[in-house]
A = this chain, B = another copy of it.
Amino acid sequence: MLGTGGGGDPRIGLLQALQAIEESGPTELVDLDDLPDDALIMPCGMIGAPTVHIEKIENGSEGAVLRAELERQTGRKVAALMPAEIGGSNGLLPVSWAGRIGLPVVDADGMGRAFPEVPQVTMHLAGISPSPGVMTDERGNVLVFRAISGAWMERLERCAAVEFGGAGAATEYPMTVRQARGATVRGSYTLAIRIGDALAAAAGDPVAAVVAETGAFPLVGGKVTDVERRTTKGFVRGSVVIEGLGDDAGRLIRLEIQNENLVALEQGAVLASVPDLISVLDTETADAIPTERVRYGQRVTVIAMACDPVWRTAAGLGMAGPRAFGYDFDYVPVEELAGARA
């Protein structure tokens, strides 16, 4: 739901988390306020194309390898793992990795959603260095990156992900708990659990339950009538067309994609855009459909949610607003766009 189509298929991450919990016991969820100030937090997840990640699965030890190398590089002990992004499989992978090495995960993340590029994290906005970054793959290759900028970290990690076959495990922006308190989106897991609880308790209409719990704005209900998707240079790019059904009959909505859903357009007008969250839900079950799984004929409801306020600052929009993705329009908050339509 929070992955906005990206972060990798959560089903993959869920199966891995369930297996890890079965083998190693539950993973502890901790708040940053419960950790010592100078403990080291390791943000982590997969980098690459979600289409590849469906069939190129982790070997389970990536978290241990990343942690060992990060400790080696920094000379400090990692106290807890954190998802770089709460969305998709990447929100769940740290749960399995942390469980397998006996560390907790912190109830926070670096986005409050999923974004395609490495420096599109709140840690970057807070001025934390992306270096040292570490990557590994299921074969056991290990790379360490001391990049001169977030943009170079993105370039270098992306090309390694492509060379690994399209995806790899990564950590960047290591930080202390003290730094993390002001440089992350807090309560990400709590929010995800709350949405899950609302869904589990939903009686007839799960999509309505999600909307009620999250304050999301429904954009359209309809049928996927066209999908254009290509896996290129370590990203999934493309677009999806949804034809309205029922109350929305006659409407045509176009979503544009770079791993995540970036913008929702109707006859050239913007319904919602990055950094706000745009999610495609199965109309019957409210299961979020990742961009790599969207296909012709699916009955879907598209919803949009307000992003974390940090993304609405000048720095946040500079890093992850419409113009950062090459669009020639200014960001308007989803609630204003919805209000104008209503």
Contact = CB atoms under 8 A, between A and B. Distances in A.
Interface of A: 69, 139-148, 152, 155-156, 159-160, 162-163
Contact of A146 (B143, B159, B162): B143
A163 B144 CA distance: 16
A155 B145 CA distance: 16
Nearest to A65: B146
Copies per assembly: 2
Task: Please report whether the interface of chain A is mostly helix, strand, loop or mixed according to DSSP.
Answer: mixed
A79 to B, nearest CB: 23
26 contacts: A69-B146, A139-B148, A139-B152, A140-B148, A141-B145, A141-B146, A141-B147, A141-B148, A141-B152, A141-B156, A142-B146, A143-B143, A143-B144, A143-B145, A143-B146, A143-B156, A144-B144, A144-B145, A155-B163, A156-B160, A156-B163, A159-B159, A159-B160, A159-B162, A159-B163, A160-B160
Contacts of A163: 155-156, 159
A140 to B, nearest CB: 5
A163 B154 CA distance: 11
A156 B162 CA distance: 10
Contacts of A69: 146
Contacts of A156: 141, 143, 160, 163
